[in-house]
Amino acid sequence: MDAQIKKGLLEYCVLAQLRQKESYGYQIIRDISAYIELSESTLYPILRRLETEHYVDTYTVEYHNRLRKYYRITAHGQQHLDAFASEQDELLRVIHFISGKE
């Protein structure tokens, strides 16, 4: 997949995963990697940006005497994801046109 397209999609993949369940970084990578390649060095800057933009918030849970940071989608993040999803109908029509699957 083209790097620019992938970069644009990862933010929405993270939000979509967090819409399903609150999670921590390593688990997010495992869940999303079934669909698209994702590394720690890519995920954590995305999570920081999503938190800065108030699309996700965080809380910590003690796990084996260590604190684990969990992420959850906010209402603002859900609206952002919904807006992206509604725009994809047009994108799918273009992809079908390009691929000859109209």
> In the prediction, which pLDDT does 102 show?
66
Query: How far from chain centre, in Å, is Cα 78?
Result: 11
Kindly state the percentage of the chain with pLDDT values over 70.
Answer: 99
Give whole-number Cα distances, 12 to 50, 57, 70, 83, 85, in Å.
Answer: 10, 15, 17, 11, 9
Query: Band of the pLDDT at 87, cuts 50, 70, 90?
Result: confident
Calpha distance 3→32 (Å, rounded): 16
For the chain, the first-to-last Cα distance in angstroms comes to 22
Per-residue pLDDT tens digits for 7-59 = 788 999 999 999 999 999 999 999 999 999 999 999 999 999 999 999 999 99
On whether the 3-99 domain is CATH 1.10.10.10, my answer is: yes
Contact between residue 48 and residue 57 where contact means Cβ atoms under 8 Å apart: no
> In the prediction, which pLDDT does 68 show?
96
